[in-house]
Amino acid sequence: MTLDLMDRLKILADGAKYDVSCSSSGSSRSNSNGVGSAASSGICHTWTSDGRCVSLLKILMTNACVYDCAYCVNRRSNDIPRVALTPDEIAELTIGFYRRNYIEGLFLSTGVVRSADYTMELLIQAARTLRQQCRFNGYIHLKLVPGADPLLVQQAGLWADRVSINLELPTRESLALLAPDKTRDAVVKPMRQVSGLITVNRAERKASRKVPRFAPAGQSTQLIVGATGESDRQIVTLSEQLYQRLDLKRVYYSAFIPIVTDSRLPARPVAPLKREHRLYQADWLLRYYGFAAHELLDEVHPNLDQDLDPKTGWALRHLELFPVEINRAGYEELLRIPGVGVRSAQRIIQARRQGHLGIDDLKTLGVVMKRARYFVTARGRYAGEGPFESNMLRRKLMDAPQRPVQLSLTLEQPAGLITGEL
């Protein structure tokens, strides 16, 4: 029996929700009484660098797959209904939703059908139809298929704003264990190629704006956390390398939660969402706070402290650097104070031009005093109480509620979007 378009869309939107390499908040708001609905059609939200929230149609082209990754609901050995959309149907749906103002763009992922090249060609065809025939200028995020021909990778970047290929597992060994049809090289090679093409494209476009843009929103990837035994140190170090060597815009972390049974998978991972949250915080410190992976994690501390955010954990291991006098510290030094974020550090620098700051001024500048008070002085005054000793401070900081940090929701530079101060 052939399912109609909306039924297939529902299945393919549901299948795409496990891919977090496009930020997604999902939505369950239905249209029971009123105009418009974001339910059941795979609409997710993501934030741009200028703070705009954009909605994307987030779908798989097909949930059929010739690969058999242990952690994936769409793997070939799973007995589930398989459906697909043609490139024309994808273009038609995207334009239809766009015209009705439901979405501003498309995130298109897929299972692998027949071969990597064949699948990649279909994805490209959908994007090309949207751009050329439908004259669609909205945001397109295309998945790259591991092992696809470099020419196809290049074409994908010419139609898409962002491309991504999921690294999935942190080591070759883990990939071989849980995703035996994929190889590390088949994933990393296109990443390297995209990184090189973006660099060349930037230089060419400086010389001539007529040169077509290649993946202007860069590339991202996803790592599954907790399906295999790697430490946070291995994961954060890998992310650092991806940012530094391949200029990735984002590494997304997806806590492994068993949705399929497989003897190769852990039955019950430990606190997966909390671990994911701490990894995002550490990632934030790498990208915006000037931390190096080896400062946050080392042989003695291979995993992030689940009870404290990574910056506070680092500060407690380096009490010799604290308390910091807020009126004298440089910007980089301010960023390392728990409770002081990018924006509050900038505000402190600015406010200091008007005169010396007191402890009471810090809260109005956005500093989270529940944490910062133990690590700063202002005009020589220390606002923490009790002995300045690691275990004592740890107990107090664990009692202080840790404000949540908005996670992984940006397409580009999100400095203006930090809603919690690390």
304 Cβ neighbours under 8 A, 6+ residues apart: 232, 236, 275, 278, 279, 281, 282, 296, 297, 310, 313
398 Cβ neighbours under 8 A, 6+ residues apart: 307, 308
Phi, psi values for residue 252, rounded to 5°: -100, 145
Q: Which of 22, 59, 72, 357 binds ligand SF4 (CB under 6 A)?
A: 72
Phi, psi values for residue 31, rounded to 5°: -100, 75
CB of 146 to ligand SF4, least distance (A): 8
Q: Binding segment for ligand SF4 among 71-79, 224-232, 292-300, 331-339 (CB under 6 A)? A: 71-79
- From residue 343 to residue 382, the character string flagging contacts with ligand SF4 as x (rule: CB under 6 A) and all else as - is ----------------------------------------
The radius of gyration of the chain from alpha carbons, rounded to an integer in Å, stands at: 23
Residue 99's nearest CA partner among 53, 57, 159 is: 57
Residue 290's nearest CA partner among 202, 422, 167, 172 is: 422
- From residue 144 to residue 183, the character string flagging contacts with ligand SF4 as x (rule: CB under 6 A) and all else as - is -----------------------------------x----
Q: Binding segment for ligand SF4 among 43-51, 63-71, 296-304, 362-370 (CB under 6 A)? A: 63-71
Q: Which of 21, 23, 41, 74 binds ligand SF4 (CB under 6 A)?
A: 74
Please report, as residue ranges, which positions from 319 to 348 form the binding site for ligand SF4 (by CB under 6 A).
none
Q: Tell me the C-alpha distance between 276 and 270, whole Å.
A: 11
Strand runs (DSSP E) across 257-399, as ranges?
A: 324-325, 376-378, 381-382
Q: Which of 95, 112, 165, 224 binds ligand SF4 (CB under 6 A)?
A: 112
Could you say whether residue 65 binds ligand SF4 (CB under 6 A)? Answer: yes
Q: Tell me the C-alpha distance between 182 and 18, whole Å.
A: 18
Could you say whether residue 64 binds ligand SF4 (CB under 6 A)? Answer: no
Could you say whether residue 111 binds ligand SF4 (CB under 6 A)? Answer: yes
Nearer to ligand SF4, 262 or 305 (CB): 262
Contact present, 3 and 83 (Cβ < 8 Å):
yes
Residue 18's nearest CA partner among 258, 366, 349 is: 258
Could you say whether residue 67 binds ligand SF4 (CB under 6 A)? Answer: yes
Could you say whether residue 277 binds ligand SF4 (CB under 6 A)? Answer: no
Could you say whether residue 122 binds ligand SF4 (CB under 6 A)? Answer: no
Nearer to ligand SF4, 179 or 296 (CB): 179
Strand partners, 250: 220
Could you say whether residue 69 binds ligand SF4 (CB under 6 A)? Answer: yes
Q: Tell me the C-alpha distance between 160 and 148, whole Å.
A: 16
CB of 78 to ligand SF4, least distance (A): 9
Supply 147's token pair: 């092992």
The site for ligand SF4 (CB under 6 A) is made up of 65, 67, 69, 72, 74-75, 111-112, 179
